[in-house]
Homo-oligomer: A and B are copies of this chain.
Amino acid sequence: MTKQPKLALDAMGGDEAPRIVVEGADIAVAKNPDLTLVFVGDEQQIRPLLKTTKHLRSSEILHTTEQIAPEARVSQALRAGKQTSMWKAIELVAEGDAEAVVSAGNTGALMAMSKLQLRMIEGVSRPAIAGFFPSSTGQSCVLDLGANIECDAENLIQFAIMGTAFYRDIYGVKTPSVGLLNVGEEDQKGFDYLREAAKVLNLEKLDVNYYGFVEGSDITAGSVDVIVTDGFTGNAALKTAEGVANLFQSSLRQALSANIMGKLGYLLAKGGLASLRAKLDPRNHNGAVFLGLNGISVKSHGGTDAIGYANAINVAVNMVKQGFIPEVTTAIATANEIFAQEKTMSDDE
């Protein structure tokens, strides 16, 4: 069952908005001709940009004059926010006029506004930020990347369920494997709540292909498809990975431009190096999603380019087409029933 998706774009969010938003949208529509887009933001800026595109000349604009500053605190954003492009774009989803929102704006504000307007899927206790990392076998999904600094066993189990559906919808893998991030693979390692979550994830009735504990190195090793962790650890892992990738790339650039031999070598090896770049290109993994909300809200990296932005749109499109929200709603309801039964059984013991 696929749907023809209609998306709301926060046209004013991101370092080079609205230009990158429009250019990215044009790429996304070229790939998904059944896609309808609403650009939310300053019509005077957006209209001329749309006119230069191939596919967006007659796209709808919802005019707004205000926008959230990239460095605004969440509290500021919420106070001043109801006339902003971000709020209005989310509102379209909340009111059923669009099926997903994409923004490259302030992450904290997007999370808070999305939570306020879209609310949670029934039975989900906490939302999680999910994102993709490159791995040696393709890509892995890690969640939570920072929505909750502290998580309990129930949160992690729900993240595993939501991450499973998310990975399935984006990559078409039927039963993605799931690992719990820990400081070792042995069963006795780590916090009590990790062992508790592991016990439940091992239940056969639960529709999670649970692999076991994994370590930080498994994120890029491709040992599992989905890695579940708390938002503090996930955020530290994400930022550390970005830091190492930056260091490696700048060092490589330096190495290949240090002298004439390096430069010549670079010219010759350009083809191979392009495939390296493509594999590790953060644009290919752009689009973090707030899972657990009763609506699809995708965060694009603020500094991405049109290709990266198009990928964030594609994430939203796949989630809409595959019916992510009803899928997770059912999966969480089923899981909560299983837990209730388990609890009754263990109370009866």
**Which residues of A are in contact with B by a Cβ distance under 8 Å?**
73, 134-136, 146, 149-150, 181, 183, 186, 190-191, 215-221, 229, 231-233, 235-248, 250-252, 254-259, 261-262, 264-273, 275-276, 279-280
Q: Are B258 and A262 in contact (CB under 8 A)?
A: no
Q: Are B216 and A236 in contact (CB under 8 A)?
A: yes
Q: Are A272 and B280 in contact (CB under 8 A)?
A: no
What chain B residues lie within 8 Å of A258 (beta carbons)? Answer: 271-272, 275
What chain B residues lie within 8 Å of A279 (beta carbons)? Answer: 251
What chain B residues lie within 8 Å of A216 (beta carbons)? Answer: 235-243
Q: Are A272 and B265 in contact (CB under 8 A)?
A: yes
* Nearest 10 interchain pairs by C-beta: A265-B269, A216-B239, A265-B268, A216-B240, A255-B272, A262-B272, A217-B243, A220-B243, A255-B276, A265-B265
Give the number of times this chain occurs in the complex, counting copies. Answer: 2
Cα A43 to Cα B271 with chains together (Å): 53
Least distance between A258 CB and chain B CB atoms (Å): 5
A259-B272, A280-B251 known; A149 vs B235 contact (CB < 8 Å): no
Cα A265 to Cα B134 with chains together (Å): 25
What chain B residues lie within 8 Å of A191 (beta carbons)? Answer: 149-150, 232
Cα A239 to Cα B229 with chains together (Å): 14
A135-B247, A220-B243, A233-B233 known; A261 vs B269 contact (CB < 8 Å): yes
Least distance between A166 CB and chain B CB atoms (Å): 20
Cα A261 to Cα B218 with chains together (Å): 32
What chain B residues lie within 8 Å of A244 (beta carbons)? Answer: 220, 240-241, 244-245, 248
Least distance between A190 CB and chain B CB atoms (Å): 6
Q: Are A243 and B265 in contact (CB under 8 A)?
A: no
What chain B residues lie within 8 Å of A220 (beta carbons)? Answer: 240, 243-244, 246-247
Cα A252 to Cα B276 with chains together (Å): 6
Q: Are A262 and B271 in contact (CB under 8 A)?
A: yes
Cα A255 to Cα B231 with chains together (Å): 34
What chain B residues lie within 8 Å of A146 (beta carbons)? Answer: 183
A251-B279, A280-B247 known; A215 vs B233 contact (CB < 8 Å): no
Other than A217-B239, A265-B267, give 9 A-B pairs with Cβ distance below 8 A.
Answer: A216-B235, A216-B239, A217-B246, A252-B276, A256-B269, A261-B268, A261-B271, A264-B265, A265-B266
Q: Are A264 and B268 in contact (CB under 8 A)?
A: yes
Q: Are B183 and A149 in contact (CB under 8 A)?
A: yes
Interface core residue of A232, A264, A266 (most chain B CB under 10 Å): A232
What chain B residues lie within 8 Å of A262 (beta carbons)? Answer: 268-269, 271-273
Q: Are B221 and A243 in contact (CB under 8 A)?
A: yes
Q: Are A247 and B134 in contact (CB under 8 A)?
A: yes
Least distance between A111 CB and chain B CB atoms (Å): 12
What chain B residues lie within 8 Å of A245 (beta carbons)? Answer: 244, 248
What chain B residues lie within 8 Å of A272 (beta carbons)? Answer: 254-259, 261-262, 265
